Amino acid sequence: MKRIREVIVVEGRYDKNTLKQAVDATVVETRGFGIFNDRERLALLRRLAAERGLILLTDSDGAGFVIRNFLKGAIPREQLKQAYIPDVPGKERRKAAPGREGKLGVEGMSPAVLLEALERAGATFEEEAAHPERRPITKADFYALGLTGAPDSAARRAALLKKLALPEHMTANALLEAVNLLYTREEFLGEDP
C-alpha cells in the first residue's frame, strides 16, 4: 500500500474507509457541509495544510464541488492539491437509491481509481520503510497528563491549546485528534523512540 505525505480531505466516513483501503495516509473528513460551521475543524485543516499540504478529494457531484470551493477559498492555494474522481453513473452498495445526480461518490470508487486520481493530483508518495507504524496518543495518555479527568483538566487543555496555537474551544476529543495528526507519540510525550 502506498504511503502519502499530504493529508487527504474527504466528505464523510464512508469515503474515508474506502480511501484507507487504497492508500496509507492521514484522512480527515469535512463531515459534509458541517465544515461550513466547524471553526475548529477548519483551523485544524489550515494547520495541517501549512505543515503537510492537503489533497481535496470530494465527490464529483454539485455538493462535492460546493465543499471543494469553500476549502479552496479558506486555505492558501500553494498548500492544496486537487484530486478528482471520474463521473460514473450508479449508486453505492449501502444506499437504497442513487444520489440526486446519479453519480458514484468517493466511496463507490475502486482503490485503483482512487490511487490514479491521487497520482494525477501530484500526491507525494513516501517510502514505507521510512515510516514505521505510529503508536497513537490515547485518551489514557491525556488522563495521565491531567488533560482529562482532573479538577483542572479544562485549564490544562486551554494552556495546551494556546501553546500549540490551536483554537481555544476545541473539545478534548478534537484536541486528541489534532495532536495525533500533528505530532508523533514521541514528539508529544517526549518519549525516546
* Residues 75-89, mean pLDDT to the nearest whole number: 94
Between the CA of residue 64 and those of 32, 58, 107, what are the distances in Å?
8, 5, 13
Give the model's pLDDT for residue 192.
60
Report percent pLDDT > 70 for the chain: 96
Write down the number of H helices and E strands in the chain. Answer: 8, 7
Tell me which of 96 and 192 has the higher pLDDT: 96
Give the model's pLDDT for residue 132.
60
**Residues contacting 192, CB < 8 A, separation 6+:** 186
Quickly list DSSP for 145-188: TTSSSSTTHHHHHHHHHHHTT--TT--HHHHHHHHHHH--HHHH
Q: Which amino acid is at 54?
A: L
pLDDT digits (tens, 9 = 90+) for 14-31: 999 999 999 999 999 999
Average pLDDT, rounded, for the chain = 90
Distance CA 66, CA 145 (A): 40
Question: To the nearest 10°, the Cα dihedral for 140, 144, 149, 152?
Answer: -150
Grid look-up 483554537 returns 167
Give the model's pLDDT for residue 93.
85
